[in-house]
A and B are shown apart, each in its own frame.
Chain A
Amino acid sequence: MTQPTELQTIAGGGLLDRRVFLKKGITFSVAALASESLLAETDPAQLPWMKTPGEPLSNYGQPSAHERKTIRWTMGNSMADGNGVSWTPLHDLEGTITPNGLHFERHHNGVPQIDPAQHQLLIHGAVKKPLVFTMEALLRYPMSSKLCFIECGGNSNAGWRDVPIQTAAGYVHGMSSCSEWTGIPLKILLNEARVKGRAKWLIAEGADASAMNVSIPLEKAMDDCILAVYQNGERIRPENGYPLRLVAPGWEGVLNVKWLHRLHLSNKPAMSRNETSKYTELLPSGKARQFTFVMDAKSLITHPSYGQQLNKTGYYQISGLAWSGRGKIVKVEVSADGGKTWAVAELQDPVLSKCFTRFRIPWHWNGQTAILKSRATDETGYVQPERDALIAARGKHGYFHYNAIVSWQISNHGEITHVYA
């Protein structure tokens, strides 16, 4: 099949103008999509769900039985199944919000089943008034919402491997999820405790069986951190920190302490295990980067991506996600020829700071081998690096903060594999 003559490609490999459908009078004549099967001839009234009453009302809705494969992938420790991670299936989702049951997890020692009536938050250390708050008290505070991603510092770490991993996009890059977090601006509580002038850091601790703790600069706490109580409108799920989670927008997942019960103000960081032994990046020189809080700009194409199959030539919509811990995404470019030429994708409104941003661009696949890539630029001018550039700067043993451009190769049979290109 040939390319519709009305449509001009704007970059190699068949990328089309992102505004193509807005242009009046252009019709997309893709023969392959018409009269596909006999489906069109079925009388819908004869389908079983139009002939018998459906299921009763339910107290809490569940996804369709036809969507059972849209799940988190979990990986637990062989000796302790509460120690491990799970990934958001980004390749099965659209839009920007992650459903609560699919938000990624990283637990150091399982998910605590906390009784909110017994949960308290202590603020102490370099404060004039050490304070303790019950959940009942916290729920009376003024709240606000932040739509933001949370990404584990170890997300996408398979990218450091010498051989490209052949795994669905979400099960490599899905230690990143995006929610509306609603809660109390941390600044309000810190002001009530009257922080002393010498305080520079805040050590946050969770009430789980690992009493996980990390140090956070006070500046960040006073800027945009919130003590989240709700996630996407409902109380936070146990695996995401019920009943209270520290949300530090745009910063490493580990700083977004779940099951938060203590904030210790100090003039120095604690140098805890999770800010020294882990969540630091070893460089080729033998020195390691520490306190690398901000998650740099990243993007990836989720559709089409590894494991999906293109069965026909012609029109496809390329769709993906971009985000940056430094602020808004201002541009996502897509290439269909392995990076030789690039075209600017459409960003879905609203584009929010430190939030998943959905990009889309129409594409005409001519049936030949193609390599798809996406490249994000954020409002600070930071451009997502190619893998070679990232490795040249950081080596291969940093483990954390892998944010290089992702490449998917489409074979002439429409199979999609992950490549380094």
Chain B
Amino acid sequence: MSMLKHFLPTLLFFSIPVVAIEVSPNLGKAASDQQLSQWNKDIFPDGQGLPKGKGTASYGKKIYNKHCLSCHGFEGTGSSADELAGASHSLTDNPPDKIIGTYWPYATTIFDFTRRSMPLNAPGILNTNELYAVTAYLLYLNGIIEENAIMNEKTLPAVVMPNRHGFINIYQQQDKNP
């Protein structure tokens, strides 16, 4: 019996071509630095991911009128697509007005969303300075920044949105109420 115990593994070792048994298939390739910087579009509220560049509301107005107005209306008042400025109701009115100026907790989200998704008919067409400018224009229209305030990778994350503390993290609370 004890002989068999020692014999068996040795036999297996010699009779079967030995392949290191992978715990996982490991069929991914190491991502290159270029791939990482090209693909990574995520921008966080603390400014992580924001590219270098700058813009102001006055230039942003030109960008807006050319690329956004057709769907979002004059000065962001809404049309076929969402209202982006000029809320006439607060969050506790019936009905409430949930827009950038009343509802959005972070200014960085405007830049991120516009860069990834807008204009809807030609996403990706605006360059970094145009994106800062149109973001500045939307913040200005919502009465959050001054008309001549420069938005860049430092100033944009520092903008405090009116509804910054308006959200309750339900996942953390894991509540079970209806």
Interface residues of A (CB under 8 A from B): 77-80, 83, 108-109, 122-124, 129-133, 137-138, 140-142, 188-189, 191-193, 203, 205, 209-213, 217, 261-262, 264, 266, 268, 270-273, 276-277, 280, 282, 284-293, 296, 380, 382, 385, 389-390, 393-394, 396-397, 403
Q: Give the docked Cα–Cα distance between A288 and B163 (Å).
A: 10
Q: Mask for B139-164, Cβ within 8 A of A = 1, else 0?
A: 00000000000000000000000000
Q: Which residues of B contact A132 (CB under 8 A)?
A: 28-31, 35
Interface size class of B (residues with CB under 8 A): 35 or more
Cβ–Cβ contact B109 & A272, under 8 A: yes
A-B contacts, 11 of them at CB < 8 A, read: A109-B117, A129-B28, A141-B25, A192-B28, A210-B116, A210-B117, A213-B42, A276-B104, A286-B91, A291-B169, A394-B178
Q: Mask for B9-38, Cβ within 8 A of A = 1, else 0?
A: 000000000000000111111110001100
Q: Which residues of A contact B70 (CB under 8 A)?
A: 79
Chain B residue at minimum C-beta to C-beta distance from A389: B178
Chain A residue at minimum C-beta to C-beta distance from B41: A211
Cβ–Cβ contact A271 & B108, under 8 A: yes
Q: Give the docked Cα–Cα distance between A129 and B26 (Å).
A: 11
Q: Which residues of B contact A141 (CB under 8 A)?
A: 25, 27
Asked whether B127 is an interface residue with its Cβ less than 8 Å from the other chain, the reply is no
Additional 9 contacts, C-beta under 8 A, given A124-B40, A192-B26, A271-B45: A79-B71, A130-B30, A131-B31, A133-B27, A210-B116, A285-B92, A289-B170, A290-B169, A393-B178
Q: Which residues of A contact B178 (CB under 8 A)?
A: 296, 385, 389-390, 393-394, 403
Cβ–Cβ contact A77 & B28, under 8 A: no
Please pick, from A122, A270, A382, the residue contacting B112 in the complex, using a CB distance under 8 A: A270
Cβ–Cβ contact B120 & A80, under 8 A: yes
Q: Which residues of B contact A382 (CB under 8 A)?
A: 176
Q: Give the docked Cα–Cα distance between A271 and B110 (Å).
A: 10
Q: Give the docked Cα–Cα distance between A380 and B175 (Å).
A: 12
Chain B residue at minimum C-beta to C-beta distance from A396: B94
Q: Which residues of B contact A203 (CB under 8 A)?
A: 42
Q: Give the docked Cα–Cα distance between A273 and B42 (Å).
A: 12
Q: Which residues of A contact B51 (CB under 8 A)?
A: none
Q: Give the docked Cα–Cα distance between A213 and B117 (Å).
A: 10
Q: Give the docked Cα–Cα distance between A61 and B67 (Å).
A: 44
Q: Give the docked Cα–Cα distance between A396 and B96 (Å).
A: 10
Q: Which residues of A contact B43 (CB under 8 A)?
A: 270
Please pick, from A77, A210, A270, the residue contacting B42 in the complex, using a CB distance under 8 A: A270
Please pick, from A266, A296, A380, the residue contacting B44 in the complex, using a CB distance under 8 A: A266
Chain A residue at minimum C-beta to C-beta distance from B29: A132
